[in-house]
Amino acid sequence: MVNQMSEGPDFDAIQEKRNGELYDMLKHRQVKRLQQTLEDMKEFDVAEFLTELGEEDSNKMAVVFRLLSKERAAEVFANLEAPEQEAIINSITDVELAGIIEEMYVDDAVDMMEELPANVVKRVMRNATPETRNLINQYLKFPDNSAGSIMTAEFVDLKKYMNVRESFARIRRIGEDKETIYVCYVTARDRTLEGVVTVKDLLLADDDDIIENIMDRDVIFATTTEDQEEVSEKFSDYDLLAIPVVDKENRLVGIVTVDDVIDVMEQEATEDIEKMAGTLPSDKPYSRTSAVEIWKLRIPWLMFLMLSATFTSMIINSFEDALNAQTVLIGFIPMLMGTGGNSGSQASTAVIRSLSLGDIEPSDVLAVIWKELRTAFLCGITLAAINFVKMLLVDARLMGNDDVTVIVAATVSLSIIGIVLFAKVVGSTLPIVAEKLGVDPAVMANPLISTITDTVSLLIYFCMATSLLHI
Amino acid sequence: MVNQMSEGPDFDAIQEKRNGELYDMLKHRQVKRLQQTLEDMKEFDVAEFLTELGEEDSNKMAVVFRLLSKERAAEVFANLEAPEQEAIINSITDVELAGIIEEMYVDDAVDMMEELPANVVKRVMRNATPETRNLINQYLKFPDNSAGSIMTAEFVDLKKYMNVRESFARIRRIGEDKETIYVCYVTARDRTLEGVVTVKDLLLADDDDIIENIMDRDVIFATTTEDQEEVSEKFSDYDLLAIPVVDKENRLVGIVTVDDVIDVMEQEATEDIEKMAGTLPSDKPYSRTSAVEIWKLRIPWLMFLMLSATFTSMIINSFEDALNAQTVLIGFIPMLMGTGGNSGSQASTAVIRSLSLGDIEPSDVLAVIWKELRTAFLCGITLAAINFVKMLLVDARLMGNDDVTVIVAATVSLSIIGIVLFAKVVGSTLPIVAEKLGVDPAVMANPLISTITDTVSLLIYFCMATSLLHI
């Protein structure tokens, strides 16, 4: 980052310079120039600039926001996070608010409603037209994370008897406010979906060609109640720009566009990662989540795992005599538990991710176990061999610990093999079982698997010790 | 899944039925009908069908593949995984191979080259035209995971003096083979990028409007050496369908389209998840990775973590006398280490993910530490209180363990507070330090953080015990 000169054009530098200029205009009250610059900027950049302003002074943010033209205001507004949206709603008039709501895409409006506090939602709804209010209410009824909850109503529909010229005329007439114009949907009179035609198809066809003859009848579609993760899989499989969403009667009710799917993918990956680490999933970014909220997300698993460690205490207590006879064994407990935990979470992580990407199915369970058994055998043998040599060379020789005998080293090393085998099989099987039961496999969090392997690791170790060392 | 009737249109059922028909045609050697059906199917579905066939008999797969028309063959080929691509290359003629290579998009061809064995790559290259060979070689030189390595050369370029009518004529003429026609790039004579214009802009403009007047000069672009993760962030920020990639002289050399970015996002999330779980990242899906390959990915971290547990052994050994005096303390070691490890990985996971989504920056380190300290304090107090009550009620009363005194319960509970505080701060700080040093924060894998907190947890526990219990 030191020598950007040699790197060619620098995207970040351009943006920083532009933001500096914005602050200058604001300082020198060059309202006209500021207004013009904001009008030319990308909505995301305006939203970022407003957020930055709002961190200093939310009043200033609202003042600058009101400089935007009506359409821009709605687009920028959709790019803001909930706290900024709330601050702005609280400082604009009902008329301005109504203007923004009517200009927003339904999916953005619904997103916003889901995050704003109830009293603000009330004010927004009061200022929407009855049609918009109905539409929003209808969308809010779809289950969380369903295709219905992320779709939008702003699509271009065509009829199969239209020709290409008429279609282009329609796209030009209604296209301005649509989320995408590049994929158009052909519907019957009862609104059932009959086909799909892209602007590329239209451009490569003749003006007099009839839609019916160029449309694709084999449409990739989603249903309103379908999980958003499945929807995003279809985008990645079929390289879609948009997908039509139909209801039970196969009527076209909305579309999901690729930009929303990108957000869904980020959100789903984040949720999986959070669950794997034993945190409840959150719908807010980390930087926006307060310490108390984070505490609420993290404490349930911590508490559960702490209390379930009662089993490990009980096992250790019941083997107290054996441990007193051979205190050297105590020192290897952390290493064995750690190795078990790590082996298990490696396996569970691989399986959870593969399930979520559709790379493996629950029916592959036997193949997965077989693969993990072989992997575990290789890992176990390697670790055991290295540990055996290390204990005799380092612990016994180098550090002169006479209690570390060959038989003790063998006990620990053989335990490693058993523990790794157990951990890999449990780590890979539990997520698949969860998926089969219809539970999110990521809930088989790595910490949970660690706790199970901790308990069993100790049992394996102590059984090995009592039988090999005759204690 | 039992009663699909009430669910309305069923996507999966339609596909299954179609695949059944394909097998029937194959069985009854209805070549013409099979050919026609394959021609009408989505490329992804044909690729899936071929892969399924190949699992039984790779010869059959190659025979069906050769039924495809030339353009379809290239598209389907790009949708196949490396093993199937290799099998097909090995069973087609040089002429057929040449046809496929020339029809493929450069980015797909480059992807393929990176995964095929050297002798197959040689045969492919020998059959490509000199231009294609040069282009592929040039792309292969870009660093892994850079914008250059995922871009494609098939874009529509316009000149700023063209009018809308001329632009549409050009799009119609050259558009068929381009990865996207919806975003067109305006370049100068020296190929530097001057602006961007979408087909939507063109459709909403008049036929005689000049490109210069409708194009957007404020282009969101990427540079060839830019990391693919930054590229995908730009797509998510600005809702792009494609991004132009420029070289150091600001010359347009390629574009990255949104479908490739979706793959990048999946790949990056998978890599982060793998690294967090202490596995080396793999570029192959789990189902395609052999046990030996998985062993190679997993054993380095397992070995490192096993050996670094030597520290915990050393600590336990050096406090042996204290433990012998109060054997009751041993039973709580696993619980304390587990609590430390889980607290740490919750924090590191949240921070790693936020860094990778651009939600926090390394400069936020103090704010992050402050937030984690408060969270840790809340978590620590809660866990300590519950543990204190639990030890006195369950361990002492219920299980009648007389060694669990109030002072022992206090020792363990106070240790929990210290351990959680330490774990959360280390877990959140290390990934940020890594990012600042230019190292991937995900490499601060949760297992590594667990090992560090394991060691310190024991130290905190034993110090607390020696001072409170005077042993």
DSSP character string of B138-174 = HHHTSPTTBHHHH-BS---EE-TT-BHHHHHHHHHHH
| Residue A329 to residue B333: CA distance in whole angstroms | 14
Provide block-wise average pLDDT over 10 residues at a time, chain A (471 residues): 53 86 89 90 91 87 89 89 89 88 87 84 88 87 89 93 96 90 95 95 95 94 92 92 93 94 90 87 86 92 89 87 85 92 91 88 92 95 96 89 91 96 94 89 80 91 91 75
Residue A158: phi and psi, rounded to 5, are: -125, 170
Contacts with A247 (C-beta within 8 Å, 6 or more apart), sequence order: A223, A224, A253, B8
| Residue B345 to residue B276: CA distance in whole angstroms | 9
pLDDT per position as a tens digit, B439-450: 888 877 777 888
Does residue A61 sit in helix, strand or coil? helix
pLDDT per position as a tens digit, B46-93: 999 999 888 888 888 988 999 998 888 988 999 998 889 999 998 888
Average pLDDT in the B300-320 region?
88
| Residue B68 to residue B61: CA distance in whole angstroms | 12
Does residue B227 sit in helix, strand or coil? strand
Which residues numbered 365-394 in B keep a CB inside 8 Å of some CB on A? 367, 371, 374-375, 378-379, 382-383, 386-387, 390, 394
Residue A282 has what pLDDT? 84
CB–CB contact A259 B248 (8 Å): no
**Which pLDDT band holds residue B4 (cuts at 50, 70, 90)?**
very low
By the CB < 8 Å criterion, does B155 face chain A?
no
Residue B434 in this model has a pLDDT that exceeds 70: yes
CB–CB contact B335 A349 (8 Å): no
By the CB < 8 Å criterion, does B38 face chain A?
no
**Which pLDDT band holds residue B7 (cuts at 50, 70, 90)?**
low
| Residue A37 to residue A33: CA distance in whole angstroms | 6
CB–CB contact B265 A270 (8 Å): no
CA distance A126 to chain B (A): 30
Residue A4 has what pLDDT? 40
CB–CB contact A378 B299 (8 Å): yes
Facing A303 at nearest CB: one of B44, B331, B383: B383
Which residues numbered 62-91 in A keep a CB inside 8 Å of some CB on B? none
Which residue has better confidence, A1 or B234?
B234
A232: left (phi over 0), alpha (psi -120 to 50) or beta: alpha
Radius of gyration of chain A (CA): 30
Residue-averaged pLDDT of chain A:
89
Facing A218 at nearest CB: one of B40, B225, B382: B40
Residue B2 in this model has a pLDDT that exceeds 50: no
By the CB < 8 Å criterion, does A272 face chain B?
yes
By the CB < 8 Å criterion, does A402 face chain B?
no
Residue B282 in this model has a pLDDT that exceeds 80: yes
Residue B1 in this model has a pLDDT that exceeds 60: no
Average pLDDT in the B280-303 region?
89
Residue A420, Cβ density class (10 Å: 0-12 exposed, 13-18 middle, ≥19 buried): buried
Which residues numbered 218-257 in A keep a CB inside 8 Å of some CB on B? 218, 220-223, 225, 232, 235-239, 241, 246-250
Does residue A465 sit in helix, strand or coil? helix
Q: For residue A447, what are the CA distances in angstroms to A299, A457, B424?
A: 13, 15, 15
**A275 close to A356: Cβ distance less than 8 angstroms:** no
By the CB < 8 Å criterion, does A471 face chain B?
no
Average pLDDT in the B96-115 region?
86
From the candidates B226, B335, B390, B450, which should be mutated to test the interface with A, based on the most A CB atoms within 10 A? B335
Chain A hits for B269, CB-CB cut-off 8 Å, are: 265, 269, 273
pTM of the model: 0.83
Residue A2 has what pLDDT? 37
